[in-house]
A and B are shown apart, each in its own frame.
Chain A
Amino acid sequence: MADSTASVTNPSTTAMRELDPTARPRAVRKPRGILVPLWLGYVFLYLPILIVVVMSFNDSENLFVWRGFSLRWYPELFTDEAIMQGLVNTLVVATGATAIATVLGTLLAYGIAHYTRGGLIRAFAIAPAILPDLLLGIGLLTLFSLLTVTLGLHSVIIAHGVFATAFVTAIVLARMANLDPSLEEASRDLGAGPVRTFVRVTLPQLAPGIVAGALLAFTLSIDEFVIAFFTTAPTQPTLPIVIYSMVRFGVTPEVNALASLLLLVSIVTVIAAQRLTRLTGTPK
């Protein structure tokens, strides 16, 4: 009753806005031709990938002649020592870099969101994501040589940790922006101390962002070539460096199989990350 009385005198309470654009039906049809460039773009983007995948099932040694279906290159891949060693190196690097980045990035994001005004620290923390990889690569090489640090997987881990931290920070910050700050206040109000609040309320809320950031960091590290190229020892190449030398000094069809497998891993990871961010997306 009180509501109905209020509405007599208070026009603002009757203001329900029709702002939901999804409620609005689709407007006048657009011409279909608009999709032609999109499809052509997809052909351009996927044709090379498709060729590689198809050729990974080719029976022939010749990269340019189709002889018949075969799975022979896949098992052969796993007997190639250089590739396997590269894979192990890459996984070690990616794991290490992701671990560093996840911890540092999450802490940074939280610190930036809570304790900084203005964008200086934020810009600094995200800068490695924009900095040319070439600059970071030779810069670290210079630093390591000045400090006479022996190059190896550890130096690649440190190097990858730099840009990976930037990506985790960016993603967790984005997640943080969607969080309701009163959740933490509610926790404090209900008697939880600062540490308990952080561990019990804040971290679980941030978890999807942290996981998505970690996945991204891992994927980026696996694929990263330029920085690794400058910061690793020739005896400890990561997988991209192995591929680089294979492409450079003579390709065997194994590369096709390897490429297809990596493609599969990338697709699965991207879809997983996508699902993750959507499932636990913006709290309404």
Chain B
Amino acid sequence: MTETLQRPAPAARAGRVRLGLAPAPFLAPGMIYLIVFMAVPVGLLAFYTFFERGRFGGIVFEFTLDNWVKLFEPLYLGVILQSIALAGIVTLLALLIGYPMAYAIAGLSPKWRTVALVAVVLPFWTNFLIRTYAWILLLNNAGWVNQWLQGLGITDAPISMLYTPQAIVVGLLYMYLPLMVLPLYASLQQLDPSLREAATNLGATPWRAFRTVTFPLSLPGALTGCIFVFVPAMSNFVIPELIGGGKTIMIGNLVRDQFFEARDWPFGATLALLLTIFLVLVIVVQSAVSRRLTEGPRRG
């Protein structure tokens, strides 16, 4: 009788049998480090926003909502709105320039795709101050762009480009363009090519196939790219200072000034937290939109 044969019981597959090492030695060091040096500092900042400033920096532990109210003073509100506007313009331009780039890269053969991607990312790995400085060389009144423009006879006198809001936009765009191209590329590349073929096969012109299939399906990548560009663009304070000449102030400059010049740490913390709340909101919206765009698992 086969039933009498001894058979090993099938292994329970509910969860893999653990390796036998305790989790604590693996998780604890890193978690403690990150709690102490990330969670605590951020929590501390949040805490500071509800207290008064010390006279020479630091904090006086008297509860107040003044820091949050102060955000709505015209002076600061203006800077906040200006930051949003500048970062928004940068994001839009990055999308307009980055989308065709990502689309072109996704259409390359696998070999060239890697090369093209590395070429997009490489500038991102060069020092960001140096990339900013390069634009000073280009945009200065005596700089190379003006020399070329005059050489070509387009203008007689140098156009002042450096130290303008437009220069800030160019600088930020230059800084964060790769961050737009990468997620866009990823979403375009993982699109099943047969989806576009199916659209064509069903009689859609190439433009209609792009508009109704490729583009909507790449929107999650576009949204991710927008976050990647918008968030750091908004908190950057070096480019407004170096390329914008400190004339156009963004939230980042304000935060820096609160810590190093005005010595109003609680308000600086409030501004930084505002940035972070903004970031969280944008991410929540993004993931909600992405989910709506492609409901359920993307298969077939």
Contacts and interface: CB of A to CB of B under 8 A. Distances in A.
A179 interface: no
A230 B41 CA distance: 13
Interface string B120-137: 111101111111111111
B116 A38 contact: yes
Contact of A135 (B25, B100, B193, B272): B272
Interface string B90-102: 0000000110110
B40 interface: yes
Interface string B15-27: 0111111010111
Contacts of B37: 140, 143, 158-159, 161-162
Interface stretch (B65-73, B141-149, B284-292): B141-149
A243 B100 contact: no
Given A139-B41, A223-B127, A108 B276 contact: no
B30 A125 contact: yes
Contacts of A49: 123, 126, 131, 134
B138 A244 contact: no
Nearest to B192: A21
Given A132-B275, A138-B259, A143-B40, A100 B123 contact: no
Contact of B125 (A47, A127, A240, A270): A270
B58 interface: yes
B76 interface: no
Interface in A119-171: 121, 124-125, 127-128, 131-136, 138-143, 145-146, 158-159, 161-162, 165-166, 169
Interface in B122-181: 122-123, 125-138, 140, 142-144, 147, 174, 177-178, 181
A255 B133 contact: yes
Given A52-B134, A63-B137, A270 B122 contact: yes
Interface in A1-59: 21-22, 26-27, 30, 34-35, 37-38, 41-42, 44-49, 51-52, 55
A187 to B, nearest CB: 9
B34 A125 contact: yes
Interface of B (DSSP majority class): helix
B123 A46 contact: yes
Interface of A (DSSP majority class): helix
Given A52-B134, A114-B18, A45 B120 contact: yes
B72 to A, nearest CB: 21
Contact of A270 (B18, B118, B193): B118
Given A247-B132, A247-B242, A124 B34 contact: yes
A226 B235 CA distance: 10
A158 B269 CA distance: 20
Contacts of A21: 193
Contact of B275 (A100, A134, A139): A134
Interface string A47-86: 1110110010000000110000000000000000000000
Contacts, number: 251
A244 B256 CA distance: 15
Contact of A140 (B41, B98, B122): B41
B33 A162 contact: yes
B34 A165 contact: yes
Contact of A139 (B44, B122, B123): B44
B238 to A, nearest CB: 7
Interface of B: 16-21, 23, 25-27, 29-31, 33-34, 37-42, 44-45, 48, 57-58, 97-98, 100-101, 103-105, 107, 109-110, 116, 118-123, 125-138, 140, 142-144, 147, 174, 177-178, 181, 193, 197, 231-232, 235, 237-238, 241-242, 252, 255-256, 259, 265, 268-269, 272-273, 275-276, 279
Interface of A: 21-22, 26-27, 30, 34-35, 37-38, 41-42, 44-49, 51-52, 55, 63-64, 100, 103-105, 107-108, 110-112, 114-116, 121, 124-125, 127-128, 131-136, 138-143, 145-146, 158-159, 161-162, 165-166, 169, 181, 184-185, 188, 193-195, 197-198, 219, 222-223, 225-226, 230, 240, 243-244, 247-248, 251, 255, 258-259, 262-263, 266-267, 269-271, 274
Given A48-B138, A134-B235, A136-B38, 4 more contacts: A38-B100, A64-B143, A139-B42, A142-B41
21 contacts: A38-B101, A45-B177, A48-B135, A52-B133, A52-B134, A64-B137, A100-B33, A104-B29, A104-B30, A107-B27, A133-B235, A134-B256, A135-B45, A138-B259, A143-B41, A165-B34, A247-B242, A248-B241, A262-B126, A262-B130, A266-B122
What 6 A-B pairs come out closest when comparing CB atoms? Answer: A139-B41, A111-B26, A48-B134, A37-B100, A108-B30, A115-B23
